[in-house]
Amino acid sequence: MSTQSDNQTAAAGNRSSGWVVFVFFMIGLVASIISGWVAFPELLYSTKQQPIDFNHQVHLEQMGGQCNSCHFFREDGSFSGSPTLEECKSCHMYPMTGNENEQKFIDEYVNQDKEVPWLIYAEQPPCVFFSHAAHVKGADMQCATCHGDIGHSTSLREYQENRITGYSRDIWGKSMLRLGEPDHGGRHQKMNDCAECHLKETGSKGDCFQCHK
Amino acid sequence: MKIDRRCFLSLVIGGAVGTTLTPVPWKLTDDIAIWTQNWSWTPEPEDGPSKFVKSVCTQCSGGCGIIARTIGNRAIKIEGQPDHPVNNGSLCPKAISATQHLYGPSRIQGPMKRAGERGQGKWEKISWDEAISTVTEKLAELRTRGKPHSVACISDTDRNSVAYLLDRFLRAYGSPNFIRTPSSADAQELALYLSFGRQGTIGYDFKQSDFILSFGCALMDGCDAAGQMMSAFGDMDKKTRLVQIEARLSDTAAKASQWVAAKPGTETDLALGLGHVMVRDGLYDKAFIDSHGFAFEDREDEAGNAYPGYRSLVRDYSPEKVAKTTGLPEKTIESLARAFARARRPVAVTGFSNPAAASVNQALAVFALNALAGNFQKPGGVFVIDEPDYLSWTEMKIDKTASAGNQQARIDGAGTKRFAHTRYLPNRLPEAINSSQGDSPVQALLVAGGNPLYTLADPQSAKKAFEKIPFIVSFSTFMDETAEQADLLLPHPHFLECYQDVPTPAGMAKTVISLARPVVKPVYDTRHTGDVIIETAKNLGGFIENAFPWKNHEDFLKKTLSDQWETLEKQGYWTDDSSRDNSLEKLFRTSSQRFEFLPRAGFETQGSENPKSKVQTVSLPGDVNELPLVLVPYSTIRISGGAVANTPFMTKTVDANVIAQQDVFVEINPETASEYGLSQGDKATLKTPAGNAKVRVNLFEGIMPGLVAMPAGLGRTGFSDYIAGKGVNVYGLIAPAADPASGLNAAWGARAAIGKA
């Protein structure tokens, strides 16, 4: 018995005291919280500029005030997304305005016959089947409801790319806690956002296979 | 203050606790899930506008119309063509998943020559110029040596433009040895020729028939008939009765109104037994037989020789006797015959997509039932579709070498005195080569379509024969079992990459020509077999070159289909709906100008013996005491039994009691299984005269005791790792048994024994 007790005392003498341990615990706790909330979001996203600063407002005015002049539905009902070089070229084969961005577009893309590598804020992974037709034609929704009033913007926002997934920060949202609405209007576009809206509008979150074919 | 291990641990613990209070773990989990979808090998759908191309699937002989959806140069999806006369929108899993073969690892990616031993799988890439000149040199050399007839060509069809070009090439070159791979249509076509005097296919108007009597046809099991049948059944009147005669509860039997489980191999007896009842009770179309029937009654020829007619032939097939042979109750035979005879539009079917070979006599006996019902060229009945006539070009001039070569006897023995009316005897080819002394009678073999080393009965002996052939060229699109044993690979494009005409598929009651069209640009360095033939002919020069006045296959096809080309380009198919002559007057081209119940042409080849002795069922080789069971093949729509193997997708749809890991299950009745001490899932050894196989046991009440059933289409060695090595090739266990009337293989099964492994 006595031997055991001696050993315990000896061991206690060699240990650091409780408050030192607590301080270290707190250092770990605070450091990780700060890095998780402040450093992590900074590290996770890289900021990129669009290849060309596109003015939606000007185009909207020139093209008759309709988004679908450039972002149209194909004959088979599928959505065309961003215009291709071919479509842009139908107006911008040669400079029309003297705008430096237009000149850049013609020099770097039209003349070199290269598609513009637009960074798409609302791009979803390939496992997601999203039908624009069902929402725009079927449910009569406005583009701005999800995408914000991008049509009246004069400049393209900076694009924050998730370094792990390669997709835009817009999908998750600026807030790590996914609080609030996007600054640019519209909606965040994670699965839960789809489900939330579907629940509200249709009474059901929908089935897995509706989007994940 | 003392800093020790505890401090460090608490720092870490503090960090861990803190981290859980940040978004890091949750956000990272989500991001990593998405990151895994970005791996380079994860398939990603193309994006862009869709295009839809009407085409036809050529993976089996079914000829189903398809619509292929493409985005850019990528084929995305294949669906049935809704208005196509064959399948009207229906499609089997093989056609639906054809893009897996198009982009899959089974493809031969360019011309290659063998670098190692045969079958070793070592290949060296070569240019098309080198490949074609290798073939040209070999063929030129054989011709110089006066042996053009030692060149043989195997194809899976003799009816499309490639087959026509090949046959024309052989005739211009000097060889009679064009051979078609075997199918259940062989006996049908011969029977059609013997009794109708016409070369072509038999069509059945399933849609309008009210009573379908199927002698073991895999109407809803295999892929050959699937498109047609799904389409017909969709349109059918609910009152249509389908009676399936089969020893196994197949999908067709399960969907039938009545399932008649006769012993396998006794179908001929049953058909004659039904004929007996119909004749005995006067339940047949007397008017048709009076005006268009021949050899119904006994007859005498001019020399005074007496020949029995159908009436006296079936007298020996009383229900009592047939009941014993077939294992069916007499009552069933009587009632079946009456139901058939009394139906308004009955039709009897055999040799249509059957998994097992059948004899010519079986086909004739079933034709006779249709004749008794008087249903030829009538709605709901039987129609005769001639060989396509668009492939007819003026005769070409040939030189002396070619003429001498063409006059040589065929190596497979077809068309000789013994088998005068049989066009091809593919199953006799291996034997002819293996039994020859000295050099192989085949010095060069061109395999263009088909996969004989997989589909021939007893492929082991065919492989042995191939070993004796010094020069084998395969035109296969895929690294199939035959391509594996070749010396030179000249890959043909996938059917979604090229033009191909598809003449009327067997079973169709009207002429339908479909056109397969390039849906996407060729993925690999392939060349159309038609182009290669034309180029080789040009290289050989002289009369051979002159026989091929076309630039390439497409040019040939356009010129040969001149009238129909525009329709084919626009709608993908051409049919003679409005222009068909359905009168009986010109239907029969036999020497009697009538439907011959017991064909005279048959007697001519076999002497004037009593035909009764010839209506015999094909007996299976092997000792009944040693091999008490019978192995029968069966088709399933989920496993491709033909030349082109399953797609990996199809294999995924197969039940776990058909394939588990690498093992195939054989179906066996629980009663039989208990005799041999076998229970569900047991590993067993199956033995037949052709070989042994390791299998597993699936107890199935739906199969007749005494039988063992195995799905056709497994046990591949070729194609890719996703396909090969699963199960056993059932045809490898069934040695051919020659039909004495035709020489064709008519082995409907094999004697077998099974024991616990």
- B209-223, B303-317, B515-529, B572-586, range with greatest mean pLDDT: B515-529
Query: Mutate which of A86, A160, A165, A179 to test chain B, going by most B C-beta atoms within 10 A?
Result: A165
Structural domain count, chain A? 2
User: What is the average per-residue pLDDT within B43-53?
Assistant: 85
pLDDT at B535: 97
Q: Which two tokens stand for residue B238?
A: 């609910």
What are φ and ψ of residue B217, in 5° steps? Answer: -75, 135
Whole-number average pLDDT of chain B: 92
Q: How far is CA B153 from the centre of its chain?
A: 18
- Per-residue confidence (pLDDT) for residue A123, from 0 to 100: 93
Six token digits for residue B107: 């493809």
Cross-strand pairs, A162: A45
Measure the CA dihedral B629/B630/B635/B641, to 10°.
110
The answer to whether residue A93 is domain-embedded is no
Residues 92-131 of A with CB under 8 A from B: 125-127
Structure tokens at B657: 């009691």
* Contacting residues of A for B3, CB less than 8 Å apart: 16, 20
> Which H or E element spans position B751?
strand B750-756
CB pair distance less than 8 Å for B15 and A31: yes
Task: Quote the CA–CA distance of A78 and B291 in Å, as a whole number.
Answer: 62
CA-to-CA distance for B597 and B419, rounded, in angstroms?
19
Distance CA(B568)–CA(B690), nearest Å, equals 46
Examine residue A128 and state whether it is found in any structural domain, yes or no: yes
Task: Round to whole Å and give the CA distance between A83 and B464.
Answer: 61
Give B294-342 pLDDT, tens digit per residue.
999 998 878 888 888 999 999 999 999 999 999 999 999 999 999 999 9
Average pLDDT of the residues in B343-367: 91
State pLDDT tens for residues B204-229: 999 999 999 999 999 999 888 889 99
Spatial distance between the Cα atoms of B501 and B492, rounded to a whole number of angstroms: 15
Say whether residue A20 is in contact with chain B using an 8 A CB cutoff.
Answer: yes
**Using one digit for the tens of pLDDT, what is the confidence trace for B5-30?**
888 999 999 999 999 999 999 999 99
Q: How far apart are CA B42 and CA B36, in angstroms?
A: 8
Confidence of residue A6 (pLDDT cuts 50, 70, 90): low
Which of these, B45, B331, B691, lies nearest to A126 by C-alpha position?
Answer: B45
Min Cα distance B93 → chain A (Å) is: 18
**Residue B448 φ/ψ, nearest 5 degrees:** -120, 90
Do the domain assignments include residue A180? yes
Q: Is the pLDDT of residue A5 over 70?
A: no
Residue A36 counted as domain residue: yes
Query: Does residue A95 sit within a domain?
Result: no
Whole-number Å distance between alpha carbons of A27 and B14: 7
Of A45, A60, A75, which marks where a domain is finished?
Answer: A45
Question: How far, in Å, CA of B260 to CA of A132, rounded?
Answer: 54
Residue A127 binned pLDDT confidence (cut-offs 50, 70, 90)? confident
The closest of B720, B710, B713, B719 to B749, measured between CA atoms, is B710
Picking from B354, B98, B92, the residue whose alpha carbon sits closest to that of residue B216 is B354
| Mean pLDDT for the stretch of residues A146-167 | 94
* Residue of chain A minimizing CA distance to B4: A16
B606 has pLDDT over 60? no
- Residue-wise pLDDT for B233-291, tens only, equals 877 777 889 999 999 999 999 999 999 999 999 999 999 999 999 999 999 999 999 99
Whether residue B418 contacts residue B605, with contact meaning beta carbons closer than 8 Å, is answered with yes
Least confident of B375-379, B640-644, B736-740: B736-740
Q: If interface means Cβ-Cβ distance under 8 Å, which residues of chain B face chain A?
A: 1-4, 6-8, 10-19, 21-24, 27-28, 30-32, 34-35, 37-38, 44-45, 47, 49-50
pLDDT at A4 over 70: no
Question: Is A203 contained in some domain?
Answer: yes
Does residue A78 lie in a domain region? no
Does some domain include residue A51? Answer: no
Report pLDDT for A1: 44
Question: What local confidence, expressed as pLDDT, does residue B612 receive?
Answer: 47
**Helices B562-571 and B553-560: angle between axes, nearest 10 degrees:** 110
Q: Which two tokens stand for residue B281?
A: 């009770």
By C-alpha distance, which of B674, B712, B141 is closest to B457? B712
- Domain range for A6 is 2-45
Please, which residues have CB within 8 angstroms of residue B613's CB and are 6 or more apart in sequence? none
Its sign, for the CA torsion B166, B170, B176, B179, is negative
Tell me which chain A residue has its CA closest to the CA of residue B36.
A165
Query: A26 and B14: CB-CB below 8 Å?
Result: yes
Nearest to B189 by CA among B204, B177, B202: B202
Q: Best of B1, B8, B10 to disrupt the A interface by mutation (most A CBs within 10 Å)?
A: B10
Angle formed at CA B12 by CA B11 and CA B16, multiple of 5 degrees: 120
Query: Residue B662 carries which side chain, given as an amino acid letter?
Result: Q
Give the pLDDT score at B201.
Answer: 93
Q: Answer yes or no: are the C-beta atoms of B612 and B313 closer than 8 Å.
A: yes
